[in-house]
């Protein structure tokens, strides 16, 4: 891999928002202003630890990562850093830009004595899975579960329960 020696990593700043939204559009193939701008605003808030980073190549943002630190989520006592998004300009890939961002994040977290960095990857994104595998990520000792709150079988079970409880309960639902 031919590394970019001039690449520099720094904290995400307000001036990066437009460039990051444009970068993301090149990565995912469509603009996601409504999704990304609130996330970026959140990442730039002055409260808490600002963990999000940008990597510059030739003086311009070439990649970014959005990360935050959670305290006491899901019953965990120790702080956990969550890597929400990572992306590198499709034209500038395989030159180590993602790795230098991740290295910087790892150093920043280690300095804060944060010992867990967590992320979620779509099963349908083998490129990202390969990247995280290479960077030493392994499946976490917890399962990520999801459900459709309006699933017909769940509704049917609820209705059956209400039926079993009698007419009053059914009338009140
Ligand atoms: C995954 C991604 C961040 C890697 O960025 P990058 O700057 O090219 O990564 P690096 O050059 O630091 O590569 C580090 C390692 O990751 C692996 N890797 C990177 N890109 C890869 C790819 N396309 N396929 C397989 N492995 C890959 C390589 O094994 C590389 O190891 P090497 O040093 O042995 O070559 C980049 O491909 C990307 O942005 N993908 C899209 C991510 C996405 O969908 N994000 C969500 C929306 S923003």
CA distance 76 to 82: 13
Instruction: Please report which confidence band the pLDDT of residue 6 belongs to, taking 50, 70 and 90 as the band edges.
Output: confident
CA distance 169 to 156: 15
Q: What is the mean pLDDT of residues 104-111?
A: 96
Do β-strands 117-119 and 53-57 pair in parallel, antiparallel, or remain unpaired? unpaired
Q: What is the mean pLDDT of residues 10-22?
A: 97
What would the pLDDT profile of 23-32 be if each residue is shown by its tens digit? 999 999 999 9
Among protein residues, the one whose CA lies closest to atom 18 of ligand 1: 131
47 CA distance to ligand 1 middle (Å): 31
Superfamily of domain 8-142: Gcn5-related N-acetyltransferase (GNAT) (3.40.630.30)
Q: Is the pLDDT of residue 155 over 70?
A: yes
65 CA distance to ligand 1 middle (Å): 13
Nearest-atom index, ligand 1, CA of 28: 47
Terminal Cα-to-Cα distance of the chain (whole angstroms): 63
Instruction: Please report which confidence band the pLDDT of residue 16 belongs to, taking 50, 70 and 90 as the band edges.
Output: very high
Query: What residues line ligand 1, using a CB cutoff of 6 Å?
Result: 1, 24, 27-28, 85-88, 93-99, 125, 127-128, 130-131, 134
Q: Where are the domains of the chain?
A: 8-142, 144-173
* Strands of the 53-57 sheet, one edge to the other: 8-11, 53-57, 60-70, 80-88, 117-119
CA distance 108 to 24: 24
Identify the helix (H) or strand (E) that includes residue 11.
strand 8-11
β-partners of residue 9 are: 55
**63, 28 Cβ separation under 8 angstroms:** no
Backbone angles phi, psi at 56, to 5 degrees: -105, 140
What would the pLDDT profile of 31-89 be if each residue is shown by its tens digit? 999 999 999 999 998 667 789 999 999 999 999 999 999 887 778 889 999 999 999 99
Mean pLDDT over all residues of the chain? 91
Q: Which residues contact 67 (CB under 8 A, 6 or more apart)?
A: 51, 52, 53, 81, 82, 83, 84, 105, 117
Instruction: Please report which confidence band the pLDDT of residue 169 belongs to, taking 50, 70 and 90 as the band edges.
Output: low
Six token digits for residue 71:
């305290």
- Between residues 167 and 164, the one the model is more confident about: 164
Instruction: Please report which confidence band the pLDDT of residue 168 belongs to, taking 50, 70 and 90 as the band edges.
Output: low
Give the model's pLDDT for residue 171. 54
């Amino acid at each position: 891999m031919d590394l970019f020696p001039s690449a520099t990593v720094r904290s995400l700043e307000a001036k990066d928002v437009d460039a990051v939204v444009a970068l993301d559009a090149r990565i995912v193939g469509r603009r996601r202003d409504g999704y990304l701008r609130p996330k970026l605003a959140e990442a730039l808030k002055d409260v808490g630890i600002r963990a999000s980073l940008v990597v510059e190549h030739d003086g311009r943002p070439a990649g970014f990562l959005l990360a935050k630190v959670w305290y006491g989520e899901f019953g965990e006592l120790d702080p956990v850093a969550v890597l929400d998004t990572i992306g590198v300009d499709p034209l500038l890939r395989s030159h180590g830009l993602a790795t230098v961002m991740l290295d910087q994040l790892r150093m920043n977290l280690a300095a804060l004595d944060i010992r867990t960095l967590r992320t979620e990857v779509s099963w349908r994104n083998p490129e990202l899975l390969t990247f995280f595998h290479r960077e030493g990520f392994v499946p976490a000792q917890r399962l990520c579960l999801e459900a459709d709150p309006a699933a017909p079988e769940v509704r049917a079970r609820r209705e059956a329960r209400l039926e079993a409880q009698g007419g009053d309960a059914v009338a009140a639902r």
